[in-house]
């Protein structure tokens, strides 16, 4: 039986982090998973309409499930900053 | 102790605070207190530890405990019945100099049994800039009066030497006197009601109930932590001031029944007053922790015991004297609030039982506009535009963020209506409304922020001045959760209609949007500016963070959003993949095709959104 570790991820019976929507595995539990996701990095400026027009030099990182394309997580970041990593011990 | 007596005493403590808050509001005359509810009243044990956290800004609950403890140390052997002490030193306990604490010992039969404490953001504190937010200050010495401890009232008698000295150092002393009087009255009511409680049940029984209450909170909180998975969660807040970028980094580690908040890696302290001191950072993460993790647990010292904090000295979350600090509340403290909100929410999201308690960030910027000048009645009008308390709610696992819904750190925060503000300041609103497309997209979108524009009106000086002092306009600070986008950033513009009029251009005095304004629009985000004659100040607050994948949002919700002006048809199509027909109804086939196209683009890593 899988156990949720975030709003979009679970740890499956095999001890792997997996997409909550389709079950696609993203790596071993307790390890960073974002490198196994499909990454989109676009400017936050204009990301969702005119109110985002003055965002400057900041990226909107979106991490998609490589199988079902569900958006698993997002973060705004300057280019030089690393991914935010969350580790849940199940 | 029998459980019924315990419950009665516990509820009486709540009511003591309620009545003290009502008293404070009845006596204070400032909009920031009465309209914005920028206040706090709480009760403390005889040793100064938090007994019963009250309402208002929650990051003050723990800082006022430090205020009580610092007064106990400073005035050892000189704390008497009827005393009221004042402290507003940020390097002692306060958040910034404008938030003045008045703390009062409560005695019964000559023995110290408890403390009451309260704060308001006083009308003025004598800083470089009226109102206390002082963007040009480069040290605390120019941020107004600051004291680590004064005995303002001695055994029931006002110490007029101290009061008069304070009032001699501030603008609008009659209003500051009212603020201080409101806090004295609040403490008086708290003391009288506590004494009545102790008299009825006896000092031993009340002390026992209070100890049980603290122990109960600790036990309940530790049990809750044990229910949640162990782990480590990260968050990051950016903000900008005058082309400088700052970071607040947080790694929150939960192990068994303990939590550690580690701010290692945060930016070095700034030359600008957005820094906060140690106890402000400590209070900063309790502001979201209390309501998100302890919504059914009494907020007291028991909740503090399982918590530890690492805040490196010399950083913006633990600055060293004499670094400027006057904007801490809308600066680093709010960033600590936001970072903690996301880390706690990510931890909650990892639990089937508690996932519904998680939320994206509310009101990340806490944008603040202070006004000062002569008003239409010839009075010295100083104060905050209370829209700063009307933040945008974050999306949750079951609902959208509340549009212009408030903020987590102050559950009773609110903003004044337009007419109240126009009555106090010599201004008129051109418009004030929710901002379309400002909420972060998500399965449950972030709440919309607001936008407003004001012009001087009937000012005896031809205008008024304002202070812009948020955390910039380049970054989104209301982070999303579970894939939800962050809310849109803030925007402030000085519309130069006077120059346009001088050039012979028509200036629309009733513009209802920035597009209808003739003057050049200059972006501003930090400093003191004039609002004279026909010029306009336009302010747009940030939106709340979204929750979940925007493609999972029910199409009918988008149709409603577009009808209500919360989301534009273009964003509905481009970000959410929902196509509306000419009547505003969902075109199901076209929407399915649009979502498939977005999914395909995601997998090809194309930036289709």
ipTM reported for the complex, 2 dp: 0.98
Residue B509 inside a domain? The answer is yes
By CA distance, what is A37's nearest residue in B?
A: B603
Inter-chain contact B474–A55, Cβ cutoff 8 Å?
Answer: yes
The owner of tokens 């192990």 is: B255
Inter-chain contact A55–B489, Cβ cutoff 8 Å?
Answer: yes
Residue B204 inside a domain? The answer is yes
| Residue B182 to chain A, least CA–CA distance (Å) | 41
**Mean pLDDT, to the nearest integer, of B237-251?**
96
| pLDDT surpasses 50 at B607 | no
> What are the residues whose beta carbons fall under 8 Å from the beta carbon of B576, sequence distance 6 or more?
B441, B550, B551, B553, B555, B558, B567
Q: Read off the pLDDT of residues B260-272 as tens digits, 9 standing for 90 and up.
A: 999 999 999 999 9
Inter-chain contact A51–B485, Cβ cutoff 8 Å?
Answer: no
Contact with chain B for residue A45, Cβ under 8 A: no
Give backbone dihedrals phi and psi of B190, rounded to 5 degrees, phi first.
-60, -40
Cα(B245)–Cα(B429) distance, integer angstroms: 33
Q: Tell me the chain B residues in contact with residue A81 when contact means C-beta distances shorter than 8 Å.
A: 236, 247
| pLDDT surpasses 90 at B376 | yes
Helices B3-27 and B173-201: crossing angle in degrees, nearest 10, is 160
- Give the Cβ contact number of residue B181 at 10 Å: 16
Decide: B310 and B264 in contact? Cβ < 8 Å: yes
Residues B535 and B568 occupy one common structural domain: no
Cα(B298)–Cα(B606) distance, integer angstroms: 50
Decide: B285 and B256 in contact? Cβ < 8 Å: no
Decide: B390 and B495 in contact? Cβ < 8 Å: no
Residues 275-304 of B with CB under 8 A from A: none
> What are the residues whose beta carbons fall under 8 Å from the beta carbon of B168, sequence distance 6 or more?
none
Residues B582 and B440 occupy one common structural domain: no
pLDDT at residue A90, rounded to an integer: 87
Inter-chain contact B475–A58, Cβ cutoff 8 Å?
Answer: yes
Q: Which run of H or of E encompasses B323?
A: none
Among the three residues B219, B248, B267, which one is the final residue of a domain in this structure? B219
Q: What is the CA radius of gyration of chain B?
A: 25
Q: What is the domain range of residue B587?
A: 550-603
Cα(B574)–Cα(B79) distance, integer angstroms: 65
| pLDDT surpasses 70 at B481 | yes
Contact with chain B for residue A88, Cβ under 8 A: yes
Cα(B88)–Cα(B119) distance, integer angstroms: 9
Residues B564 and B440 occupy one common structural domain: no
* DSSP string for B437-453: T-SPPSSBPPPP-EEEE
* DSSP string for B501-549: HHTT----TT--SGGG--SEEEE--EEEEEEETT-EEEEEPPPPPPBS-
By CA distance, what is A2's nearest residue in B?
A: B352
pLDDT at residue A59, rounded to an integer: 97
pLDDT at residue B68, rounded to an integer: 98
pTM of this prediction? 0.97
Cα(B481)–Cα(B446) distance, integer angstroms: 10
**Mean pLDDT, to the nearest integer, of B292-297?**
98
Residues B135 and B212 occupy one common structural domain: yes
Residue B257 inside a domain? The answer is no
Q: B29 falls in which pLDDT band (50, 70, 90)?
A: confident
Residues B555 and B487 occupy one common structural domain: no
Inter-chain contact A7–B474, Cβ cutoff 8 Å?
Answer: no
Cα(B131)–Cα(B172) distance, integer angstroms: 10
| pLDDT surpasses 90 at A12 | yes
Report the mean per-residue pLDDT for chain A: 96
| Residue A44 to chain B, least CA–CA distance (Å) | 9
Residue B230 inside a domain? The answer is no
**Mean pLDDT, to the nearest integer, of B419-426?**
96
Residues B500 and B561 occupy one common structural domain: no
The owner of tokens 């060293």 is: B320
Q: What share of chain B is helix, strand, coil (3-state, %, to 5)?
A: 35, 25, 45
Contact with chain A for residue B200, Cβ under 8 A: no
Name beta bridge partners: B432: B452
Among the three residues B170, B188, B219, which one is the final residue of a domain in this structure? B219
Residue B335 inside a domain? The answer is no
pLDDT at residue B609, rounded to an integer: 39
**Mean pLDDT, to the nearest integer, of B198-204?**
97
By CA distance, what is B567's nearest residue in A?
A: A49
Cα(B53)–Cα(B10) distance, integer angstroms: 12
Residue B432 inside a domain? The answer is yes
Residues B397 and B477 occupy one common structural domain: yes
Residues B490 and B557 occupy one common structural domain: no
Q: Which of B483, B558, B596 to mutate to test the interface with A (most CBs of A within 10 A)?
A: B483
Residues B576 and B479 occupy one common structural domain: no
**Mean pLDDT, to the nearest integer, of B485-498?**
97
**Mean pLDDT, to the nearest integer, of B3-22?**
97
Report the mean per-residue pLDDT for chain B: 96
Biggest CA-to-CA distance, chain B: 81
Decide: B408 and B360 in contact? Cβ < 8 Å: no
Decide: A9 and B233 in contact? Cβ < 8 Å: no
Count: domains in chain B: 3
**Mean pLDDT, to the nearest integer, of B10-27?**
96
Q: B567 falls in which pLDDT band (50, 70, 90)?
A: very high
Q: Read off the pLDDT of residues B90-135 as tens digits, 9 standing for 90 and up.
A: 999 999 999 999 999 999 999 999 999 999 999 999 999 999 999 9
Residues B20 and B141 occupy one common structural domain: yes
Residue B194 inside a domain? The answer is yes
Cα(B293)–Cα(B286) distance, integer angstroms: 10
pLDDT at residue B30, rounded to an integer: 84
What is the Cβ-side half-sphere exposure of residue B540, based on CA atoms within 13 angstroms?
27
B585-606 in b/e form (b: 16+ CB < 10 A) is ebbeeebeebbeebbeebeeee
Inter-chain contact A54–B523, Cβ cutoff 8 Å?
Answer: yes
Residues B455 and B563 occupy one common structural domain: no
* DSSP string for A24-90: -EEEETTS--GGGSEEEEEESTTBTBGGGTT--S-EEEEEE-TTT--EEEEEEE-TTSPPP--EEE-
Question: Running DSSP on this structure, what letter comes out for residue B395?
Answer: P
Tokens standing for residue B523: 């972006």
The owner of tokens 């029998």 is: B2
Helices (H), B325-473: 332-349, 418-424
Residues B543 and B560 occupy one common structural domain: no
By CA distance, what is A66's nearest residue in B?
A: B603
Residues 354-383 of B with CB under 8 A from A: 355, 358
Q: B608 falls in which pLDDT band (50, 70, 90)?
A: very low
**Mean pLDDT, to the nearest integer, of B55-60?**
93
Decide: B457 and B507 in contact? Cβ < 8 Å: no
Inter-chain contact B548–A57, Cβ cutoff 8 Å?
Answer: no
Q: What is the CA radius of gyration of chain A?
A: 14
Among the three residues B193, B219, B245, which one is the final residue of a domain in this structure? B219
Q: B606 falls in which pLDDT band (50, 70, 90)?
A: very low
């Amino acid at each position: 039986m899988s156990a949720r570790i975030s709003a979009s991820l679970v740890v499956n019976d095999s001890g792997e982090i997996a997409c909550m929507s389709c079950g696609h595995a993203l790596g071993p539990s307790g390890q960073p998973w974002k490198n196994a996701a499909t990454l989109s990095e676009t400017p936050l400026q204009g990301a969702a309409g005119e109110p985002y027009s003055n965002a400057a030099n900041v990226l909107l990182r979106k991490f998609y499930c490589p199988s079902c394309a569900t958006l698993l997580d997002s973060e705004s970041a300057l280019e030089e900053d690393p991914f935010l990593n969350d580790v849940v011990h199940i | 102790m029998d459980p019924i007596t315990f419950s009665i005493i516990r509820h009486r403590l709540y009511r003591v605070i309620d009545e003290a808050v009502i008293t404070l509001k009845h006596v204070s005359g400032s909009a920031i207190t009465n309209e914005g509810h920028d206040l706090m009243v709480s009760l403390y044990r005889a040793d100064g530890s938090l007994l019963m956290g009250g309402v208002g800004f929650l990051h003050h609950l723990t800082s006022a405990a430090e205020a009580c403890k610092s007064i106990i140390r400073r005035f050892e052997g000189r704390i008497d019945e009827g005393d009221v002490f004042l402290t507003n030193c940020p390097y002692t306990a306060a958040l910034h100099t404008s938030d003045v604490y008045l703390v009062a010992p409560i005695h019964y039969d000559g023995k110290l049994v408890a403390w009451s404490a309260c704060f308001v953001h006083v009308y003025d504190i004598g800083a470089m800039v009226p109102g206390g937010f002082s963007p040009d200050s480069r040290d605390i010495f120019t941020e107004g009066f600051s004291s680590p401890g004064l005995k303002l009232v001695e055994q029931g008698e006002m110490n007029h030497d101290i009061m008069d000295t304070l009032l001699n150092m501030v603008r609008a002393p009659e209003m500051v006197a009212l603020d201080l009087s409101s806090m004295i009255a609040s403490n008086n009511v708290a003391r009288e009601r506590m004494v009545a409680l102790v008299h009825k049940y006896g000092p031993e029984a009340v002390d026992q109930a209070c100890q049980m209450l603290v122990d109960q909170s600790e036990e309940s909180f530790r049990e809750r932590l044990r229910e949640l998975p162990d782990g480590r969660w990260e968050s990051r807040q950016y903000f900008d001031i005058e082309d400088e970028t700052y970071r607040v980094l947080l790694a929150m580690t939960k192990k068994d029944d303990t939590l550690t908040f580690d701010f290692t890696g945060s930016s070095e302290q700034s030359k600008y007053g957005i820094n906060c001191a140690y106890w402000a950072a400590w209070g900063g993460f309790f502001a979201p922790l209390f309501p998100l993790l302890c919504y059914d647990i009494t907020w007291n010292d028991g909740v503090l015991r399982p918590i530890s904090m690492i805040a490196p000295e010399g950083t913006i979350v633990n600055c060293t004297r004499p670094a400027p600090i006057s904007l801490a509340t809308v600066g680093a403290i709010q960033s600590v609030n936001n970072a903690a909100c996301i880390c706690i929410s990510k931890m909650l999201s990892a639990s089937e039982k508690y996932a519904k308690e998680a939320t994206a960030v509310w009101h990340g910027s806490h944008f603040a506009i202070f006004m000062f000048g002569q008003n239409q009645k010839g009075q010295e009008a100083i104060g905050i535009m209370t829209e700063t308390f009307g933040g945008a709610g974050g999306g949750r696992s079951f609902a959208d963020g509340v549009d212009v819904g408030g903020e987590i750190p102050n559950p009773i925060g609110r903003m004044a209506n337009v007419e109240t503000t126009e009555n106090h300041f010599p201004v008129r609103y051109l418009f004030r409304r929710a901002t379309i497309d400002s909420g972060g997209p998500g399965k449950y979108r972030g709440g919309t922020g607001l936008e407003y524009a004001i012009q001087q009106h009937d000012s005896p000086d031809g205008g008024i001045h304002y202070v812009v002092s948020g955390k910039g306009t380049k970054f989104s600070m209301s982070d999303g959760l579970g894939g939800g986008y962050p809310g849109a950033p803030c925007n402030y513009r000085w519309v130069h209609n006077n120059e346009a009029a001088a050039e012979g251009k028509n200036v629309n005095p009733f513009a209802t949007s920035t597009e209808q304004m003739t003057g050049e629009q200059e972006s501003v985000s930090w400093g003191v500016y004039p609002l004279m004659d026909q010029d306009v100040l336009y302010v747009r607050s940030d939106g709340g963070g979204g929750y979940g994948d925007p493609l999972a949002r029910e199409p009918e919700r988008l149709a409603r959003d577009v009808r209500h002006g919360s989301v534009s048809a273009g964003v509905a199509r481009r970000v959410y993949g929902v196509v509306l027909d000419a009547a505003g109804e969902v075109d199901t086939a076209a929407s399915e095709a649009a979502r498939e196209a977005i999914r395909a683009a995601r997998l090809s890593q194309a930036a289709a959104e």
